[in-house]
Chains A and B, each alone.
Chain A
Amino acid sequence: MNIQTKRRSDRKHTPKVQMAGLYTRAVRDAFSKLDPRIAVRNPVMFLVWVGTVVTALVTLDPNLFGPVNEQPNQQRLLNGLITVILFFTVWFANFAEAVAEGRGKAQADSLRATRSDTMARKVLPDGSTQSVPSTALRRGEQVQVRVGEIIPADGEVVSGIASVDESAITGESAPVLKQPGTDIASSVTGGTRVISDELLIRITADPGQGFIDRMIALVEGAERRKTPNEIALTVLLTVLTQVFLIVVATLPPLSQYVNSPTTIAILISLLVALIPTTIGGLLSAIGIAGMDRVAQFNVIATSGRAVEACGDVNTLVLDKTGTITLGNRLADELLPVHGHSLDDLATVALASSIFDETPEGRSIAQLAEKLGAKIDFDPDTAEGIEFSARTRMSGINLPDGIEIRKGAVEAIKGFVRSRGGIATPELDAAYERVSKLGGTPLAVCQGNEVFGVIYLKDIVKPGIKERFDQLRRMGVHTIMLTGDNRITASVIAQEAGVDDFIAEATPEDKIDVIRQEQAQGKLVAMTGDGTNDAPALAQANVGLAMNSGTQAAKEAANMVDLDSDPTKLIDLVTIGKQLLITRGALTTFSLANDIAKYFAIIPTIFSAAGIGSLNIMGLKSPQSAILSALIYNALIIPALIPLALQGVAFRPLTADQLLRRNILIYGLGGVIAPFLAIKLIDLIIPFA
């Protein structure tokens, strides 16, 4: 974990957000959101909006809705002040939303800058090239990109090998090697720059539908839909607003009847104080900020729904390699069997790894060379056998027909048996020894003869065990998937502290695990990058694709990690929970505030009914009480904007502990805070 966070803070997130102009723009946007056609989308604040209009009318003519006993000028002053405060209540809510949106917009702007229209060299069917603007490119067309040029659109490498600087989207400064054929390295993103050699690329996205375009739309909030939980909360807030509208609207005949009449402006003040303006004003800002926090984490979520689902995840399905252990396993030791010498084994191991470009393969070659092994054939004449998930082995066919293979012990056993050889208990013993150390054993064979076992050492990421402990406390179950055998898997699983593991897993197992968990009603999150991960990513409730992954994986997932760091899935769970907690905390706070507001307003405005003794805060006068409650009501919105945008501090505690903590702070705090604040405002304002 330390490594992760350190790396993240080191790195400057490239799509830099221009914060300077953010607030001036938000101030402007907050005004334009006063347009009734926009205001009507937020039911709670719309009521305040209408209330402001009505109080403005009674400021002009206090007697508009009925004769008022008091001095018209005094009345006008009070109504005017109420109007101003109500106006700012609406404006503050708009401002909160504008600030939240502004961050995304600023981010989108910097992304858009990378998408400047470039000229592309389109390859025509006859092989000649033609210069066209990048926006004119269509799916399926081919372009040539040379060193120093910007790749015009998303595509797949058809031919050529080149390093590409993808820092514009990932922030990672190290260039990435792109070449055709390989699943992962062949996809390129529009807006990135080729920094060596040249590529022939087949375009896979029409203009405006590329990856960056979608990212811009997402961070900008153009595609923002209310999430299911947000909708449910909106319903509750609307019902409460409706309830208080009825309560306040039915008050005049009642107060008239007991000879304690009141004015329209005061009734509107009471209504605004009672309806949940705090959460109503901040609700959309919380949702936008949640998406934004994910974006700042360099993860692009396709919808707020996905972010919300992160908080609900019950099960994390994690690949061992790269997530739980450091990506590279290193060959640590060679264990010869069947009477072969260490040198023989080293020679065969080196031969088997000559074409293996994976870090594991290279480390085997290194170890073998250290032991003095050399190859006695010309690699150009030999045929390399690539690793596949199905055969689970790789190797080489020598020019003289000798087949050398290395791979999972079971796979090699099968290979040897098919060639008429036998597997002995000695091999199993070596295999078990490696497994019990938590290493990955790779068997090596030449023809039908097993030479020995390579011990690949796995290193569990530091700090990962603590993360899993935290997850367990939060009630999240972790399942590790690995191609390793059972014994190795169980050793690593124990070392890393995962709850469950699946050994010798094939890509199909991934989707099976997800389906099994989902059948029990659980929500599952997983990461993936390969094309064969795509079905599982689509099946999972939260699928996090690596940006380095294939287009298919990215399309299937509902989140893409630009840094290609699978450990982030754990952080996303935290962000999702934080989003929900923030929403719940502010709702609770907003509702709890009503007690104090009631006790401030009701006793003072109906003091003619003799209930002045209920004025337990000892507020100076009815006017002062109403203004204090309204000022509190308005100011609490900007006061809580930072909390809404940053989210409530999250601690990995059990549900009961979290509830106790948050109820104390936001529930009890929500009851007490306004009493103190309203009293304080009452003391400050000079309205007697």
Chain B
Amino acid sequence: MVQGWIQIAGTLLIVLLMTPLLGGYIARVFLGEPTRFDRLFCPLERILYQLSGIRAHATMSGWHYIQAVLISNLVMAVLVFITLMLQGVLPLNPTGLGAPTWDTALHTAISFVTNTNQQHYSGETTFSYFSQVVALGFLFFTSAATGIAVAIAFIRGLTGRPLGNFYVDLTLAITRILLPISLVGAVILVAAGTPETLAAPVVVPTLENPNVQQAIALGPVAHFEIIKDLGENGGGFFGINSAHPFENPNGLTNLIQILAMIAIPTSLIYTYGIFANNRKQAWLVYGMVFGIYLVFIAIAAIAEYQGNPAINTLLGSPQPNLEGKEVRFGWAQSVLYAVTTTGTMCGAVNSMHDSFMPLSGAVQLANLFLQIVWGGQGTGTAYLFAYLILAVFVTGLMVGRTPEFLGRKIEKREVVLTSLLILLVHPIFILIPGAITLAFPEQLAGISNPGFHGLSQVIYEYASAAANNGSGFEGLADSQPAPTGLWWNLSTSVSLLAGRYIPIIALVLLADGMSRKPVVPMTTGTLRTDTGLFTGVTAGVILIMGALTFFPVLALGAIAEYFQIAGGI
């Protein structure tokens, strides 16, 4: 027990120490200050910009920025879709895999370009090394960098700067942040035992019966792994993701993965503090999210540590719930990994989320619903400040002025964009497809575990898609060739796209509008947003507006299941 808590506390301490370092570095990169990698990348970038005709110093207006995001993402998605469909004739295909079904390829392309990496397939049996490394690995970087670029544009707009140039920010995010860290991380992972090879799977006789042959899948895993976590992508090289001993061999790799997942979302809050020249506010907001994060970890950890009462009565003594968990990680590291991966929208898993206790499942769902317990790459930080704007609007009137955030008035346009962004997208793209699916459970869902848990499985799948998380509760027949695969591929694709691009459009427009507003000077009559009180108020707004929406779903799913198990089946 104590050991588990120490593991959790130690990891969190490292996160705390890392934040100002990385956050400060990200700020330097995007404020245009010199960094160590300039000498290496600057000439390369210049050639790149010249070749593609990008005017690096021209800042973009809101709609231009959105256009750039959408067009670049569309081009990438189409390229990846074509690559996946043609993988049978492309090189690096040692296992001779053919093309996947069109809907699987479509869902995969959308899922990876939206930084979600929801996988309705098993990597080792569906996609060739070429597809994985060139097509998906490429999107690992670009989709993560898109998120960072949008976050930076958002922060710039909020703090009254021009939005910047999407292509330049995208390049900087890759060359200055993602690539260097991935390089170091991949080397460490290789050292810790993760394979990095283009060789075909090794075929060996099994230990139990030497006559039976077993193929052990290999591949260029290490470099894939680090950017999978660092970029909040989460799409595993192998079907069982980071529970696989080649993706995540031991405690060290597990620690690196957790740190990689949480590094950028936490640091971006600090980056905001530097941009706004208000580190106090950054730390306060950080503290609020950290608080929620701790509560979530505690709920899940206690639930897992106490284990399943039904099983405990059989065993005669209380045991942690280890169903679906790797023993090499135990309950503590599995819980920390699960809460972090759902919170940061990474979606990598080192244990079966389906097998967690109901309350842990509720925490995971809450993470997906809220999207701010660190939140996705870049977008999470932006969501956080959108919540702040909403809190300013609701409570700011109570100081007797029309609400202002950072000296800029919150008016109709801001309210439309923020509320659309953080209040409406989720209910529409989680609850509506969820309800349709559950109205026809036989025809559409293919639920392995009917009842309260099945409801959670369906809602989790859509929440994971809409929040661009990508992890699965699993237990659904969502992969081809299951008859329900087509429905799942297409319906989640809609949630994926809506959950990614509607918020990005709203965020950029919001930032663009804010950057153009005249600044009202601060007086004692102005609502200060960098106080403990206001941060507390924001937490209340997040709870009431963000979480209560999903209370009925949680009540009918995870909470009902909790009472069911607690009351003995």
Contact = CB atoms under 8 A, between A and B. Distances in A.
Mutual binders A and B: yes
A667 B395 contact: yes
A486 B424 CA distance: 59
A17 B525 CA distance: 35
A513 B549 CA distance: 49
B109 to A, nearest CB: 28
A263 to B, nearest CB: 15
B397 A583 contact: yes
Contacts of B534: 659
Given A250-B431, A258-B556, A521-B518, A663 B400 contact: no
A659 B525 contact: no
B287 interface: no
A609 B560 contact: yes
Contacts of B527: 655-656, 659
A581 B48 CA distance: 54
A128 interface: no
Interface in A180-236: 228-229, 231-233, 235-236
Interface string A227-257: 0110111011001101110110111111111
Nearest to B400: A577
A246 B394 contact: no
A476 B402 CA distance: 14
B508 to A, nearest CB: 19
Contact of A659 (B537, B553, B564): B537
B436 A253 contact: yes
A387 interface: no
B252 interface: no
A609 B556 contact: yes
Interface in A537-595: 576-578, 580-581, 583-585, 587-588, 591-592, 594-595
B499 interface: no
B438 A243 contact: no
A672 B533 CA distance: 19
Contact of A602 (B423, B435, B523, B555): B555
A246 B431 contact: yes
B394 A588 contact: yes
Contacts of A402: none
A659 B435 contact: no
A677 to B, nearest CB: 18
A235 B424 CA distance: 12
A586 to B, nearest CB: 10
Contacts of B553: 254
A260 interface: yes
Contacts of A659: 395, 398-399, 527, 533-534, 537
Given A246-B432, A253-B435, A580 B397 contact: yes
- Size bracket, chain B contacts: 35 or more
Given A232-B412, A660-B533, A474 B524 contact: yes
B548 interface: yes
Interface in A600-617: 602-603, 606, 609-611, 613-614
B427 A247 contact: yes
Interface in A242-282: 242-244, 246-247, 249-258, 260
A477 interface: yes
Contact of A655 (B428, B441, B526): B526
Interface stretch (A98-106, A306-314, A346-354, A392-400): A306-314
A525 to B, nearest CB: 13
A233 B416 CA distance: 10
A651 to B, nearest CB: 10
B544 interface: yes
A472 B524 contact: yes
B53 interface: no
Interface in A308-329: 308, 311-312, 314
A240 B427 CA distance: 11
A476 B441 CA distance: 62
B552 A311 contact: no
A591 B391 CA distance: 12
A246 B427 contact: yes
B21 to A, nearest CB: 32
Contacts of A233: 397, 415
A521 to B, nearest CB: 5
Contacts of B521: 314, 520-522
Nearest to B544: A591
Given A243-B423, A580-B401, A591-B545, A232 B431 contact: no
A659 B396 CA distance: 8
Interface string B413-426: 01110011001100
B410 interface: yes
A650 interface: yes
Interface in B235-275: none
A477 B522 CA distance: 11
Interface string A617-661: 000000000000000000000000000000000100011101110
A183 to B, nearest CB: 35
A488 interface: no
Contact of B400 (A240, A246, A658): A658
Contacts of B537: 659, 663, 667
10 contacts: A232-B393, A247-B552, A254-B556, A477-B523, A588-B395, A598-B548, A603-B555, A655-B399, A658-B399, A662-B398
Q: Which 3 A-B residue pairs are closest in the complex by CB-CB distance?
A: A475-B525, A584-B397, A577-B400
Given A236-B394, A606-B556, 13 more contacts: A228-B411, A247-B552, A250-B434, A474-B525, A521-B521, A577-B401, A580-B397, A581-B398, A610-B564, A655-B401, A659-B534, A660-B533, A663-B398
Interface of B: 390, 393-402, 407, 410-412, 414-416, 419-420, 423-424, 427-428, 431-432, 434-436, 438-439, 441, 451-452, 454-455, 518-521, 523-528, 531, 533-534, 537, 540, 544-545, 548-553, 555-557, 559-560, 563-564, 567
